Amino acid sequence: MMLVVGGAHSGKRTFVREKLGFAADDFVDAAQLAEGGVPAAFAGRVAYRAEELVRALDADRALERLIGFDAVILPLVGSGVVPMRAEDAQWRERAGRLGCALAARADVVVRMTCGIPQVIKGNLADAPRGTQGAGAPLEVVFVRHGATAGTEDHRYSGAGADEPLSSAGERALRDLACDRDVFRVITSGMARTDQTARILFPNAELMACPGLREMDFGDFEGRSAAELKEDARYRAWVDSWCETRCPHGEGKSDFTRRVVAAFREVCESERAQGSGRAVFVVHAGTVKALLSELAVPKMGYFDVHTEPGGAWAATWDGRCLRDVRPASGGDAR
């Protein structure tokens, strides 16, 4: 979720509409939400005039109404002026508390001044996007690379382990039907993804996108769970559902943000070139991150399983991955 704050007429809605691609129909006056929950038609869109919601509700209840939106616009009220009426002072306090709660929940916070955005939390690349100006939907295919020695030994092989395919992994890929009609494939640039792409898509040009690399497992690279089971740092990482950072590596949230930002950038580039389809040869974790963050309906990170050479197909609408389905690894058609 993104929070956009700023004074009156500072360009908040214009920024969300023109820079992030949300349409006029995506905006809902938050004051409408005082009587009930978020209507289905508004979920995942943009709520504006959020300060008006706390005229009827306290900050906690107002927050419950707003957290389903992709973006919330909250004008700054007060500006140091002491209100004449007690009810105005109470309203400003509730608006301030709501702003603090929204900012704590938001992945990205932008402050607008005279039409100029200043990112004060997160990265704008991680901000939600609307579908205006996004062009036609882009068909995408995610292929996991073939097996490596690390795959076969159940070792953590991430961004710091640039190992090639194993002989068995190469043989298994060659048994899949290759697609000679794919002329560009996006890989992570690591040896195992490039080798897989050359086997499955022999006529394709390879385009490396390092942002799509597997999670950086840091000190856990090249080691198996069995080898690490007595390591307190490893147990703490697993107990956090991989949210904490691996020592000298990444955590799940950092990794997911990196991968999603890189994927969005690639898709924008593919659309600009008039592509109707984008084929990615990446890693199991990369696919987990993209589907868990972008798929509609929502998919759990640990529920996404992709065997070596396996694949998923989906439709990217500029905002979400829809019609997500399994596909055979060698068939991007």
Residue spans per domain, the chain: 2-126, 138-327
Distance CA 34, CA 41 (A): 16
Task: Provide CATH code, domain 138-327.
Answer: 3.40.50.1240
Length of the chain: 333
Q: Are 187 and 282 in contact, with CB atoms under 8 Å apart?
A: yes
Q: Are 12 and 73 in contact, with CB atoms under 8 Å apart?
A: yes
Q: What's the pLDDT at 132?
A: 62
Q: What's the pLDDT at 39?
A: 53
Q: Specify the 3-state DSSP secondary structure of 14.
A: helix
One of 3.40.50.300, 3.40.50.620, 3.40.50.2300, 3.40.50.1000 is the CATH number of 2-126, namely: 3.40.50.300
Under DSSP, the state recorded for 65 is: H
| H helix intervals, the chain | 12-18, 59-66, 86-105, 149-152, 167-174, 191-200, 225-228, 232-239, 252-272, 284-294
Model pTM score: 0.64
Query: Half-sphere exposure of 327 toward its Cβ, with a 13 Å CA cutoff?
Result: 22
Angle in degrees, CA 12, 19, 128, rounded to 5: 90
Please name the residues in contact with 293: beta carbons below 8 A apart, sequence gap of 6 or more.
256, 260
Query: Half-sphere exposure of 90 toward its Cβ, with a 13 Å CA cutoff?
Result: 8
Q: What's the pLDDT at 42?
A: 54
Q: What's the pLDDT at 331?
A: 45
Q: What's the pLDDT at 79?
A: 61
User: Average pLDDT of each block of 10 consecutive residues along the chain (333 residues)?
Assistant: 90 87 84 67 75 87 86 81 75 88 93 92 82 72 95 91 94 86 93 96 94 96 93 94 93 93 90 84 96 91 94 90 80 40
Whether 2-126 and 138-327 share one fold: the answer is yes
